[in-house]
Amino acid sequence: MKKVKGGVTAPKGFQAAGIACGLKRSGKPDLSLIVSEVPAAAAGVFTTNQVKGNPVIVSQRHLKDGTARAIISNAGNANTWTGERGTRDAFEMAELTAKALGIMTQDVLVTSTGVIAKTLPMPKVRSGIKQIVKHLSSRGSAKAARAIMTTDLKPKEIAVKVGNITIGGIAKGSGMIEPNMCTMHAFITTDAKIDARTLRSILGNAVNKSFNLVSVDNCMSTSDCVLVLANGLSGQKVEPGKMHAFIKAFEFICEHLAREIARDGEGASKLMTVKVKQARSEADAKKVVKAIIGNFLLKAAVYGRDKNVGRILQAVGSTTARVNWEKFKFDWKIGNKEDIISVDLAAGKNSASGWGCDLTEGYVHINAKYRT
Amino acid sequence: MKKVKGGVTAPKGFQAAGIACGLKRSGKPDLSLIVSEVPAAAAGVFTTNQVKGNPVIVSQRHLKDGTARAIISNAGNANTWTGERGTRDAFEMAELTAKALGIMTQDVLVTSTGVIAKTLPMPKVRSGIKQIVKHLSSRGSAKAARAIMTTDLKPKEIAVKVGNITIGGIAKGSGMIEPNMCTMHAFITTDAKIDARTLRSILGNAVNKSFNLVSVDNCMSTSDCVLVLANGLSGQKVEPGKMHAFIKAFEFICEHLAREIARDGEGASKLMTVKVKQARSEADAKKVVKAIIGNFLLKAAVYGRDKNVGRILQAVGSTTARVNWEKFKFDWKIGNKEDIISVDLAAGKNSASGWGCDLTEGYVHINAKYRT
């Protein structure tokens, strides 16, 4: 496995674009499109929030047949809690994209992120979709990565090659980022030849080890999703002998994007990496990871560069995870860009890692000022 | 029921004191004592954190017989994660207090709050205990309330009279405040005549409706407790006919102290009161209360004076509470000192209220700088 450039357009047969259609007051890019030359096996994981964005409903429906070709995504407006009008708007986004690309509506996935409970200004979206197809390019990943951003400071992009297969991804995160897959947008493309069922299973496992172990603020979003398209154009089938390497590469992509989302959390000055080992069960290990990455006091201590033992004890002790307190150990490495907190529960053989960020005045500023 | 002055020394036969014995670097009061003239029925509710302060262990043991006469409490050092030495120190605090008062060691309850994993400087505590008994006064409540403070800005004190019975309370809170009764110190005294078993049951119910529905930062502390002493000196038995009024007054005391703890949360500029109604079950109502009071984004929105509908939807939707989304309603009253968020789940007949505070730069400052 080696890293390559090109993000979601690194795999064969993918094009992408990102433009501004006027949804962000700032005039920054806010509409992105990823397209596969041919129908692709497709899978998605979505928010578990009871309140779901309208685009989530559309994408879930269009994923039912396990095939898709395009992902149209807007930032600046989440098209959530916008009633029947919102559902129609989300479907119309898929329809217009399909028409502009000459493909089937059910092969278009839709995502939206931004403010909740405001109707999408459809005239802007309609003319945006007409425009964006003209900008599609096999080098368009960076622009797409930028157009899905909200309060993110940096675009998030990665690609790797494993044998003849390439896998690429882009993501956005920043606020409302929390375990439970309900947290961000991440779009992954690959030219591997793989069936939708296998892809779905690989995606589910990878998300549990990556995006679901990230927390910026414990807040579960209503709109977010991880989508993957596999178009097979490398000609390389993911056969049993190659499966392990493919899965590793796929997980690497997810973990990289998850870490970058945590690192770029709202107001964050530092990545907080948490490693839990010797847990009695994987569930216990994850519980402790989440208790630490989601802990207000520890997040503030990471910012303050204070290895506060009391806060570690408080966080671990507040869970129901089995701990052998006599042998309990922890280590806290303070770095300039990353703190690594390792916890040894001395209670078994399972481990887990997760990622968060520090809590700074910046987080408060952003979220006290962000207006609906 | 009417409010009266005097806090924990308002009920007959209680004295209190608060002095500085040198545990706080600032030189502020850090040792408090509450004493009943006669043995009192006693009950306590303690942290559910796996890591418990040594004083918790001592107090739990001394409460087993349902009788106590004194509460000795220090601030500045939690005597937690301090090994066998710490357990001995906590027992010694009870012993020394008993000796100085001429009462039995098992009638002394002990609590400590402050930094974790530092051994108590016992020479200071020993001479402090010798001193404090000389300061006991039937007007000493305000001084005791001040001596249990850590990062609190204001002492918290209340007393009410219901018939011939008086109930008083003091509390401290501020950081590490979260539902689950593991959250703060609150000491309640009453001159009612009541047995320990009934007292325990009334305390448990009252805590569930008050202290367990407060959150400053979702962090469960290792040391905190609510203790109550009922010495019977009013001569008034809490008979069946008077029970209801007594319970109401007792709950009023707990709710008042809980609210004051939330209002004085670290860095807080505002109280955040959350009322949930029409929930299918009480558990559902509490779930939603907690999801709202503990929500980073909503806490920041209260600070920013932004009635952000998206964040309410996000918080309520992230729970498993049954919601009739078609009829779901909410209201958000912004005040200068208090925001009231009311949520109607339209799914049943149960309700619950809880209290939190806004998230400000002040919280980050305090917790990034607070050192072990």
Residue B31's pLDDT is 98
Rg (CA), chain A: 20
Structure tokens at A215: 């927390």
Residue B1 three-state SS: coil
Residue A282: is its pLDDT beyond 70?
yes
Residue B278 three-state SS: strand
Q: Are B222 and A175 in contact (CB < 8 Å)?
A: no
Convert the pLDDT of each residue in A258-277 to its tens digit: 999 988 888 889 999 999 99
The dihedral sign for the CA sequence A177, A178, A184, A190: positive
**Residue B334 in contact with partner chain A when CB distance is under 8 A:** no
Convert the pLDDT of each residue in A98-134 to its tens digit: 999 999 999 999 999 988 889 999 999 999 999 999 9
Catalytic sites of B, residue numbers: 183
Q: Are B309 and A50 in contact (CB < 8 Å)?
A: no
Query: Taking residues B46-52, what's their average pLDDT?
Result: 86
% of chain B residues with pLDDT over 90 = 72
Residues of B in contact with A325 (CB under 8 A): 50-51
Q: Are B325 and A297 in contact (CB < 8 Å)?
A: no
**Residue A330 in contact with partner chain B when CB distance is under 8 A:** no
Residue B48's pLDDT is 82
Interface probe for A, chosen from B50, B183, B305 (most Cβ of A below 10 Å), is B50
Residue A371's pLDDT is 52
Band of pLDDT at residue B90, cut at 50, 70 and 90: very high
Residues of B in contact with A307 (CB under 8 A): 372
Query: Taking residues A147-162, what's their average pLDDT?
Result: 93
**Please, is B342 exposed, middle or buried when counting C-beta atoms within 10 Å of its C-beta (0-12, 13-18, 19+)?**
middle
For the ranges A173-177, A336-340, B13-17, B367-371, the lowest mean pLDDT is seen at A173-177
Residue A104 three-state SS: coil
Residue B177: is its pLDDT beyond 50?
no
- How many residues in total does chain A contain? 372
Query: Taking residues A254-258, what's their average pLDDT?
Result: 94
For chain A, report the end-to-end CA distance as a whole number of angstroms.
44
Strands B14-19 and B165-172: unpaired
- Residue B85 neighbours by CB distance under 10 Å: 13
Q: What is the ipTM of this complex?
A: 0.77
Residue A336 three-state SS: coil
Residue B201, phi then psi, degrees to nearest 5: -70, -40
Residue A178: is its pLDDT beyond 60?
no
Query: Taking residues B171-191, what's their average pLDDT?
Result: 71
Residue A86's pLDDT is 96
Query: Taking residues B283-292, what's their average pLDDT?
Result: 93
% of chain B residues with pLDDT over 70 = 95
Separation in Å, CA of B127 to nearest CA in chain A: 27
Query: Taking residues A200-218, what's their average pLDDT?
Result: 86
Structure tokens at B37: 């003239």
Minimal-distance CA residue of chain B relative to A221: B314
CA angle (A139, A144, A147) in 5-degree steps: 150
Per-range mean pLDDT, top range of A26-40, A161-175, A256-270, B288-302: A26-40
Query: Taking residues B164-179, what's their average pLDDT?
Result: 78
Residue A216's pLDDT is 67
Query: Taking residues A216-245, what's their average pLDDT?
Result: 86
Convert the pLDDT of each residue in A180-190 to its tens digit: 333 589 999 99
| Element holding B113 (H helix, E strand) | strand B108-115
Query: Taking residues B97-122, what's their average pLDDT?
Result: 95
Query: Which residue has 């579960």 as its token pair?
Result: A220
Structure tokens at B325: 């989304």
Residue B100's pLDDT is 98
Catalytic sites of A, residue numbers: 183
B218 and B290 Cβ atoms separated by less than 8 Å? no
**Residue B365 in contact with partner chain A when CB distance is under 8 A:** yes
Structure tokens at A32: 């992105």
Residue A219: is its pLDDT beyond 60?
no
Rounded (10°) angle between helices B196-209 and B240-263: 40
Biggest CA–CA distance in chain B, Å, is: 66
* Whole-number average pLDDT of chain A: 91
Minimal-distance CA residue of chain A relative to B311: A116
Band of pLDDT at residue B370, cut at 50, 70 and 90: low
Band of pLDDT at residue A354, cut at 50, 70 and 90: very high
Structure tokens at A135: 């900008």
Q: Which of A116, A317, A363 sits opposite B310 (nearest CB)?
A: A116
Contacts with B63 (C-beta within 8 Å, 6 or more apart), sequence order = B42, B43, B44, B109
Residue B171's pLDDT is 95
Distance CA(A255)–CA(A260), nearest Å, equals 9
Convert the pLDDT of each residue in A42-98 to its tens digit: 999 998 888 889 999 999 999 999 999 999 999 989 999 899 999 999 999 999 999
**Residue A182 in contact with partner chain B when CB distance is under 8 A:** yes
Please report the domains of chain B, with CATH numbers, ordered by start residue: 2-263 (3.60.70.12), 271-369 (3.10.20.340)
A156 and A170 Cβ atoms separated by less than 8 Å? yes
Convert the pLDDT of each residue in A291-304 to its tens digit: 999 888 888 889 98
pTM reported for the whole predicted model: 0.83
Query: Taking residues B139-163, what's their average pLDDT?
Result: 94
Query: Taking residues A271-296, what's their average pLDDT?
Result: 93
Interface of B with A in 256-315 (CB under 8 A): 294-297, 300-301, 303-304, 306-311, 313-315
* Whole-number average pLDDT of chain B: 91
Which of A138, A76, A84 is closest to A113 using CA atoms?
Answer: A76
Distance CA(B362)–CA(B367), nearest Å, equals 9
Distance CA(B151)–CA(B172), nearest Å, equals 9
% of chain A residues with pLDDT over 70 = 95
**Residue B316 in contact with partner chain A when CB distance is under 8 A:** yes
The dihedral sign for the CA sequence A253, A256, A259, A263: negative
Region of A114 on the Ramachandran plot (φ > 0 left; ψ -120 to 50 alpha; else beta):
left
**Please, is A371 exposed, middle or buried when counting C-beta atoms within 10 Å of its C-beta (0-12, 13-18, 19+)?**
exposed
